[in-house]
Structures are given as C-alpha cells and as structure tokens.
Structure 1
Amino acid sequence: MEHRIEELVTLKTIAETLNRSNELMPTLNTVLEKLLELTGLKAGWIFLSDGIGQYELAADAGLPPALEMEDKRHMRCGTCWCLDRFWENRLDKAVNILNCKRLEDAVTHRRGDTGGITHHATVPLTAGEKRLGVLNVAAPGKKHFHQDELALLQSVAFQIGSAIERARLYAAEQRRAELFAKLGEFSRDLGASAPEAPIPACALALMGKYFPWPFAAILRKSGTGFVISAVHAGGETFFPGTLIEPDALPWLKACITRRRRVEAAGAEIAGLTDHPRLRGKLPPLQAALAVPLQTAAWPAGALVVGTDLPVGFRPADGEVLEAIAEHLDAAVESAQLEEQCRELARLDERNRLARDLHDSVCQMLFSLSMTAKGAEQQLHGGDADAALAAVREMQSLSREALKEMRALIMQLRPAGLETGLVTALSEYGRKLGLKVSSRLIGVRELPRQAEEALWRIGQEALNNVSKHAQTDAASVELELGDRAAVLRISDSGVGMRPRPVDRHEASLGLFTMRERAMALGGELKIASDGRKGTLVEAAIPLPEGKEGPR
C-alpha cells in the first residue's frame, strides 16, 4: 500500500510540474530532475526524434563525467541501441537495456568516469499515434529494473509525451501568430513600395526582412524546364535567369502543374542554390517549400523558400507562404490595373488636349483667318483706318493663340521638374499670367510617378485659376511628409459651383485630376467658396524612407 502511495505521489508531482509551463526544454529538465529525486535514480536523459537518424538531446540530469565532457558532444552525435530500437519500431513499452552503448564507448576510449553506471531503462515517449523520442534513466550498479518500476516509468512517459505534444502545439500556434503578424507588415510594405520598383524584387527583399527563411526565389516554367527569375539570399536580391532541367526538380513540376503546395528535402533541392553568387552565402539548405503563383504574369510559376533547419517546415510556414503568394499575385494584378488606369488617364489627357485645341487655338486661328480676309477687303476699298484696326485685332488673336499653344505644349512635356515641383509650377503659373506665391514644407525625394502626377494636377488647377477664377493671384504649397505628399493650389477668385466628379457629369479636367491621384492610391479634394475662392488639395501616399535633399 505504501509503495502504491509513493507511485501516486510521484505521478501527481510530475503532472503538476508538467502543467506549470508550456516552455518545452526547461520543463523537460525540471521534470527529469524531479523524477530522479522521487525514484532515487541518479542519471537520466531524454532524446527527441523527428525521423530516422534525426534526434536531439532535449534534457539531461546527473550525467556522469564521461558523458558530460566536450559539452556533451557524445550525447549529441552518433547512435545507440535504444534509438536504433526506437527507429525500428521495436520499442513500444518500458524495457531494460542490457548495457548502454554510449557508456560502453566511453570506457573503451577512456573518456572519463562513468560513475558506476553501465545499464539504463528505456521508455518510449508517445502522444497517441505520434512517436516523439525516448526517456532513459539509470543508477550506479543498477542492471535491472523491476516490472513495477518500469510500469511507473511508463506512466511518467505517457505524461511527458502528452506534455511534449501540448508544448509543440502551443509553440506552433505561437509561430503561426508571429508569422501572420509579420505577414501584415509584409503586405503593408509591399503595398507602399515604390511603383516603379519591380514587384518580384520588392516581395523577395521583404520576405528576407520579415521571415526566417534564408532563401527565397520565384521560378517559372520555360519550355520543358524551369527558369529562376529572381532570388533573395545572403541579404541581396538578383535575377539569375538560370535554366534548370525538369528532372532536377520534379517536386517543382508537381507544384506548378497540380497547383498545390509541395515540400522537398535533401538531394532534391540541390539545383536551387547552384549559382556562383550564392556560393558561400548560404547555410546548407535542408528543405524547400513551393507554392504556385496564380497571376497572369506567372501562368506557370512558383514561389519557393528554403530552410537550413533539420526539422524542415511546420504547417504554419506553408499557410503563410500561400498567403504571401496571394499577396504577390494581388500586387502584380494591382500594378497592371494601375497601369491600365494610367493609360486611360493618358487617353483622357489626349482627348482633353484635342478639345482645348478645338475650343481655343482652332477658334482663334479661324477668327484670325476671317479678320485677315476682312482687312484685305477694307484695303481694297480704301478704308485704311478699318484695315489698321483689323491688323491690330489679328495681332491680338495671334498672341492669344501663341499663349494657348505654349500652355498646351507645357502640359505635354513636363519640362522644368529638374528644379523641383514647386519651382516648376510657379514658373508655369507665371507663364499663364498669374502672380504665384509658393511654399515648400519638408524635404524628401519624390518618386517619379508621384511627382509627375502632382505636376499634371497642379497644371490643371492653375489653368482653372487662369481661365475661371477672375483673379491673377494663386498660391502653390507642397507638403512632404513621412507617408504622403500633399499639393495645395488655392486662389481668392470667384470660386466655382459644386460639381460632381463622376466621369459623365464632371468636367473632363476635374475628372482627370481625380483619376491621377487615385491611380497612385491618393485622393483629390476641392473646396470652393464664392467669397474665399477655391482650394484644390491632392494627396499622394509615399513609401516610407529617410528624408534627404532633393
């Protein structure tokens, strides 16, 4: 009865110890020490194994000096009889091991004192159908464990196995949460990347920044083989264009043709890193994970990452990689849509210029032609005063036509931007006959597309001031912040009546301004008051970056 109570106390103590923490390694060491204390044994160690030939020393207590030497090197390498039996599925319950191979080798090679330990008991660690590793315990001079001792060890092993599985599930959920948190940052930065930067290069560089995979690449099918389109490894992104024969990567072919996630390991992944720029920059990859790319830009492509961890990839890695591929596909499609929007904006711009040419320059030239014909008739009739008045009218019309043509040419060619957006807009306004006051807030580089969009918006706004505001004064203000560039064009003229911004109802100029801003993820606001004039405000988001001189 007393022996039974001791067993129950042991099991209760072990259970309480295991339930105190989800940190696997510290818990296993604490439990092992507690087990030795309660059973009177002197030494113990736990091996965890994820596959044949793979194991790690997860916990140990009371090891003799022969096994402690060289930072326990002889406990971390090589094999032994208990692990061999475990991998061969011949270890399904607690057993006596006749002798310990590691201790036997220590004696043979005179590695130090074995503390009188020659034998140990071995217990498999399991959780349901999962085989996790082995628990070994020993004591000096003890060569045999009784059945009741083995039964107690087996009960403790069941508890340890359940705790290991619980801790691994907890760690897996933690890793999943961390990876998906990083995915949010990745998505934000990918969306904010410079529009002119190649999306594959941005995506791979950001993967290197946020995720724990030392190798990432985009591959596409080319003929019967595969081409490595882009790679990020060793802190750099490059475009090798290396052609790989299909037989070298059969798992990649399965990923692309079957449109599913595939993992590969060992010799199957050797061809991925066979490039001069990668030599010496990567640890040996243990496994690769590939997911298909669905976008039209890569109709037969895959996103591949590699890891140097012996355990390979966890389920969370695959889930996050699939989400990254979806974000990459969406970014490419978004870029294509933005380019289509820009093309539509260019077409609208051509239509607007054609309309302006017809409404202004063509009408002036027609008036000039009619006035010239009238002057000719008056000269033939001898009316010199009328002919002189007609010539003066012709001069006025030609000056107006020249002014209009210059304004339209300036809109076609964004000259002057090399001196800065504010300076260029101020000069443009002066050419329209406006007195322009300007102000620049903040200093940083503007991406080319953002600068050109704000230039076009500013031109249209100043044109509207010149034509409709009934004032010769305008203000240009550019505010460069960390996340956005805001251009404000204002005047104190007569204002304008509220107008919709729908394509079918708004003026073409206002609609084009709005589309230019929206094509880059920005917005356009127009505030107008008959007593205070009009304010046009365009805000364009900017990628995060350090401020610097223009």
Structure 2
Amino acid sequence: MNNSARMQELITLKTIAETLNHSSTLQPMLQNVLGQLLDLTGLTTGWIFLMDASHEYEFVADRNLPPALTYRDKQPMKCGSCWCVDKYWGGRLHNAVNILNCKRLEDAEEQRTADTGGITHHATVPLRSAERSYGLMNVAAPGKNHFTDSELALLQSVALQIGGALERIRLFEAEQRRARLFSKAGEFGGELAKMAAGSGTRLCLVADRVTRLIGETFPDWPVAALFEPEEGGYALRSLYAGSGLSREGISADGLLLPLLMRGAASSRPVRASAAELAELRRAAGGNGTRLKAAFAAAVPSWCQQPAVLVVACSGKEEEAAQVDAVVIEAVAEHITVTLERVKLEEQQRLLTRLEERNRLARDLHDSVSQLLFSLSLTAKGVEGMLVGENDGPAAAAVRDMRQLSQTALQEMRSLIKQLRPAGLEAGLLAALQEYGAMLRLEIHAEMEGVSQLPSQAEDTLWRIGQEALNNVVKHAGTGAADIRLRLLPDRAVLRIEDQGRGGAAERPSTEGAHYGLANMRHRAELLGGSCTIVSSAGNGTVVEAVIPLNGFSR
C-alpha cells in the first residue's frame, strides 16, 4: 500500500471517529457516517440494517440507492430477506466479506421493476462491538464486483467504530429508560397506596385498578395482566391491553400456563419464551407488534399460591430484557408491600371491632345482666311471700314479672354470646353446635372438607348461622335443626335446615323477620357471596350461605 492510500485511510478513520464522537442520536449519526464513508472511499451506494435476536431487522440509513431499490417508498429494503441477512442470522458473518451479487437487485432485475444503476455486487460488513452484534452495513459502486483485502480491512475498521458508537448509544438509552421507568415506578407506588385504601385484602377487588394503573403509568408496557390461582391452575382476573380493560382474550390454561408456574415459583421476574410472547401479542391485538419481551412476577394473593403479574414491554428487546425486568420487580414489590399494609390495617380493624364487642359484652354482663338476675331473684322471693298469704292478682302480677325477667335475662345472655362468641377456636361447626345447645335445640351437624376458613369468612358464617338458629327457636315451632358445613377449595357453604312451620317470607315485618333475613344476605354479599332462604308454609326453612374463599387472608 503506498503512502497516499495509507494517508487516505487514516483521514477516513479520523473523519468518521470525529463524527461518531459528536453524535448522540442514532439514525442521523448512521446517515452521516455512511455518507462520509462513501465520499472518502469513492463508493457511491450504501445502506445499513440494524438487527435483533428475534430475526427482525430495521432499515435505518441509506445513500444513493438505485431506482430498483427505492420504488414504493424503498419497500424492497424494508421486507424480505437476502443472502447477507441470512448469513448474519445464521452466525456465519463475522468480518467484512464480498457478496457475489445482491439478491434484492437480482430480484428487481428479474421482475423488471426499475433500473439497478449498474450495481450488481456489494461488500457486507457486520457492525460489532466486543461480543455484541448490531447489524449490517452494505456498500457498493456501479461496475464494482470485488473488494480488495485492504478495502475490506478499512470497512471492517469503520464498522468497529460504528459498533462502539452503537454500544455507547445503547448504554445511554438504557440508562435513560431505567431512569424514566424508575421515576414512573415511584409514581405508581404513590397512586397504588391511595387506590388500595378501602379496597380490602381481596385481590379481585383491586385487580382491575392495578392493571389499569400499570398500563396508564408505563406507556412502555402496553400489556399488563393479573392471574390468580384457582382450583390447581390460574384464572385471568384482569387484562389491560393498549387502552382498555378486559377479562377475555387470553387463556391461563394454554401457552401461558408454564410462564405463570415459573413466575409463581421464582423470587425474581422470569422472562417469557418466544411462544409465550406470541400469545401475549395476539391478546394485545393492534398493540402486539410493539411487544419485544414479557415477564412474569409473583405477587401475594392470600391463597396457598401467589398470584402472578405478567407485563409485556415495548422497545428494543435486549434493553427491555436488561432494564424492564428490574423495574417490574420493583412494581411487584410495591404491590406486595401495599397489600400487606392493607392486610395489617384490616386485621387491626378486626381486632378493634372484637375489642369493642368484648367491652360491650363485659358492660352488659356486669350491669344489665346482673340487674336482670337480681330482679328475677327479687320477683321470685316476693312471689313466694304472696303465694303463702294471698294467691290473688298481686301474686299473679309478680309471677309474670319473674317470668319476664327470666326471659329478658336469657335474651341478654344470648346477646352477650353473640357479641363475644366463645368456641370459634374449636371451629365454626363446633361453635354453632354449642350455640344451638344453648338455645335448647337438638342439632345434627355434618362437615365436608378440612380446609381452614379465613377469619373474615368464618366470622360472617358464624353470624349468619346464629341468626338462622335464632329464627328456628323463634319462628319454626320445632326443637331441632340440621347444620351442614362444606369447605371446598374455592368456597365455603353453610346450610341450616329445619322441618318447622316455614313461611318465613310471609311473616309480618313487625316480627323483625324481614330485617334478620336481609341482614344475613347483606353479610354474605359484603364478601362477594350469597345467602338464599327457601321457606314455604308447612315445609320448613333452608338457609344456605356461600362465601368465596379466593383472595382472603387466612
């Protein structure tokens, strides 16, 4: 190589290095560098593809393309494959090489779409930095069908410079993305804390709000879905895709089930496979083309298995894989901490209510109950004195007074029992049996299942069972009742049946029956359940309360 050629190479490398060092925006930088390279080497035509691991490429820069490659807004450069692209994806392109001919130009000649400008061959140079590959640069000139070793070496040096600049821009963009996403994560945490107030500890009550908040806070995450464990698998609780909520369009039992299982078992977000990402793209509809990666992270659900949050990310695949997973983990921790706080607050409220009930029970026992007991004893003593002397109207009135005081005392003890139930430690069924015995009812009890009831569900079923047994005593005209408790994986069912006079719905409202029945229904509905009462005259009454168990703290 003569001194003049050597000097020209040095000038080329220096000029391109200066351009790269002063550039921070990807596409203008590549466009400028490509133009300078062609001007300094005497070549006329060039183009650059950026590639990713998912076998997709982006046409980002070009200069002096022949008409055969520019028709329809350069459509031949934006789709399809060619020999150099195939070599790159096949891992067979490591250095600058001669390509015997250009498939894109060859196709244009065969189809006679436009003039190729005399270009038939080009050199292909991979854009690399250390061990990372970014894409391809192709350069050509009319009538040139071979590049010398020195020309290829120069092109390889320029490609390494471009690769280093691409790595610098990638790292800069990744840090920008990280900073932006973590700033959004802080906003998300604040909004989540406000949103969760008053929602209770049931995940299904906040699922739509969580996924919507994720979608609206993070524009780079077009898809957010929340799955909750259900009967050995998972059920979709909420899906936010693009701009709206849905509970359909994505199956937890198909391609996504392995992702959900891996996410639930891992302490860190796990990445979706290509097939799993394709399923999320299908669910996202028009927004699916933006998705480059997806991750699954475990969040609490108050069941034996955690719920799983699935988030799909847009942006460049590798950057999303390295940056978004960390932020998704932070978002999952926000959800975990918030729900744990809400759980503790609800437990505190339960304790406060229990303490207030105990205080009322103590006060009633120490004051009103003792007074009624004293009144009953006094009335009994006066009755005894009157009966011995004169069994007249006064004795009858005192007798009625004694009976009323004893009835009032029994009602007061029943009320105290309701306020401060003793026996739930032994289980709901045992407590209801004991309560029925106190009411002098013959109870036949049966239980199916061995699952532990959440405290909220147990307390609600206890109150419903008390009201039902009280109604048996007051209205059924029978001294017996059947109690059956079924503990299923997803719900608890309490059934209380009597063979009494029935006709609960026809009783006058002055008896308070309608209020009691409505109160039982209301208690069940507060927990997302139901309470049905079937009662007809002469055929007894059946009370059945169903409480769903998914999402409760145990």
Q: Which band: TM-score by shorter chain?
A: 0.5 to 0.7
SS of the equivalent of 1:91 reads coil
Match of 1:305 in 2: 311
TM-score under structure 1 length normalisation:
0.60
User: Which residue of the other structure, out of 234, 241, 255, is the alignment partner of 1:226?
Assistant: 234
Identify if the C-alpha distance between structure 1 residues 243 and 45 changes in structure 2 by more than 3 Å, giving closer, same or farther.
closer
Contact 1:248/1:268 (8 A) holds in 2? yes
Deviation by residue 1:184-232 (Cα, 9 ceiling, x = unmatched): 1111111111523433322211101111222111123434432222222
* 1:156 partnered with 2:161: no
Shift, 1:242, TM fit: 7.8
Match of 2:143 in 1: 141
Contact 1:183/1:324 (8 A) holds in 2? yes
Unaligned regions of 5+ residues in structure 1, if any?
Answer: 370-411, 413-550
* 1:347 partnered with 2:354: yes
User: Which residue of the other structure, out of 144, 150, 166, is the alignment partner of 2:168?
Assistant: 166
SS of the equivalent of 1:289 reads strand
Q: C-alpha distance in 2, partners of 1:128/1:146?
A: 25
Contact 1:249/1:271 (8 A) holds in 2? no
Contact 1:252/1:262 (8 A) holds in 2? no
Q: C-alpha distance in 1, partners of 2:278/2:17?
A: 45
Shift, 1:152, TM fit: 0.9
Q: C-alpha distance in 2, partners of 1:339/1:292?
A: 22
* 1:201 partnered with 2:208: yes
Q: C-alpha distance in 1, partners of 2:230/2:307?
A: 9
- Which amino acid is the alignment partner of residue 302 of structure 1? V
Contact 2:46/2:65 (8 A) holds in 1? yes
Q: C-alpha distance in 2, partners of 1:132/1:208?
A: 30
* 1:22 partnered with 2:24: yes
User: Which residue of the other structure, out of 185, 188, 194, is the alignment partner of 1:186?
Assistant: 188
Q: C-alpha distance in 2, partners of 1:136/1:281?
A: 33
User: Which residue of the other structure, out of 112, 132, 146, is the alignment partner of 1:110?
Assistant: 112
TM-score under structure 2 length normalisation:
0.60
Shift, 1:108, TM fit: 1.4
Contact 1:295/1:329 (8 A) holds in 2? no
Q: C-alpha distance in 2, partners of 1:242/1:32?
A: 45
What pairs with 1:140-539 in structure 2 (closer than 5 Å)? 140-193=142-195, 195-197=197-199, 198-211=205-218, 212-239=220-247, 244-245=252-253, 249-269=257-277, 282-283=287-288, 287-294=293-300, 296=302, 299-307=305-313, 311=317, 313-350=320-357
Q: C-alpha distance in 1, partners of 2:130/2:99?
A: 24
SS of the equivalent of 2:37 reads helix
Unaligned regions of 5+ residues in structure 2, if any?
Answer: 200-204, 377-418, 420-554
Q: C-alpha distance in 2, partners of 1:22/1:314?
A: 22
- Which amino acid is the alignment partner of residue 290 of structure 1? A
SS of the equivalent of 2:143 reads coil
SS of the equivalent of 1:90 reads coil
Match of 1:486 in 2: none
* 1:49 partnered with 2:51: yes
Contact 1:265/1:286 (8 A) holds in 2? no
Shift, 1:38, TM fit: 1.3
Shift, 1:272, TM fit: 5.5
SS of the equivalent of 2:198 reads coil
Shift, 1:261, TM fit: 2.5
Identity rate of aligned residues, in percent? 51
Q: C-alpha distance in 1, partners of 2:255/2:75?
A: 39
- Which amino acid is the alignment partner of residue 335 of structure 1? V
Q: C-alpha distance in 2, partners of 1:30/1:243?
A: 48
Q: C-alpha distance in 2, partners of 1:17/1:58?
A: 17
Contact 1:215/1:232 (8 A) holds in 2? yes
Q: C-alpha distance in 2, partners of 1:287/1:301?
A: 20
Contact 1:204/1:231 (8 A) holds in 2? yes
Shift, 1:342, TM fit: 1.6
Q: Does 246-255 or 1-10 show the bigger shift?
A: 246-255
User: Which residue of the other structure, out of 123, 126, 131, is the alignment partner of 1:124?
Assistant: 126
Q: C-alpha distance in 2, partners of 1:97/1:315?
A: 35
Q: C-alpha distance in 1, partners of 2:363/2:167?
A: 74
RMSD (Å), alpha carbons: 3.4
Contact 1:80/1:102 (8 A) holds in 2? yes
Match of 1:433 in 2: none
SS of the equivalent of 1:288 reads strand
Q: C-alpha distance in 2, partners of 1:246/1:294?
A: 23
Shift, 1:304, TM fit: 0.3
SS of the equivalent of 1:51 reads coil
Q: C-alpha distance in 2, partners of 1:242/1:49?
A: 30
- Which amino acid is the alignment partner of residue 345 of structure 1? T
Identify if the C-alpha distance between structure 1 residues 147 and 280 changes in structure 2 by more than 3 Å, giving closer, same or farther.
closer
Contact 1:228/1:241 (8 A) holds in 2? no
Contact 1:283/1:308 (8 A) holds in 2? no
Contact 1:208/1:216 (8 A) holds in 2? yes
SS of the equivalent of 1:193 reads helix
Deviation by residue 1:339-378 (Cα, 9 ceiling, x = unmatched): 1122233234446656887999999999x99xxxxxxxxx
- Which amino acid is the alignment partner of residue 294 of structure 2? A
Shift, 1:246, TM fit: 6.5
Q: Does 147-156 or 257-266 show the bigger shift?
A: 257-266
SS of the equivalent of 2:265 reads helix
Q: C-alpha distance in 2, partners of 1:328/1:335?
A: 11
Identify if the C-alpha distance between structure 1 residues 245 and 288 changes in structure 2 by more than 3 Å, giving closer, same or farther.
same
- Which amino acid is the alignment partner of residue 216 of structure 2? K
Q: Does 302-311 or 215-224 show the bigger shift?
A: 302-311
Shift, 1:15, TM fit: 0.7
Match of 1:442 in 2: none
Shift, 1:273, TM fit: 7.7
Q: C-alpha distance in 2, partners of 1:279/1:247?
A: 15
Deviation by residue 1:90-114 (Cα, 9 ceiling, x = unmatched): 2221111111111111111122222
Shift, 1:52, TM fit: 6.1
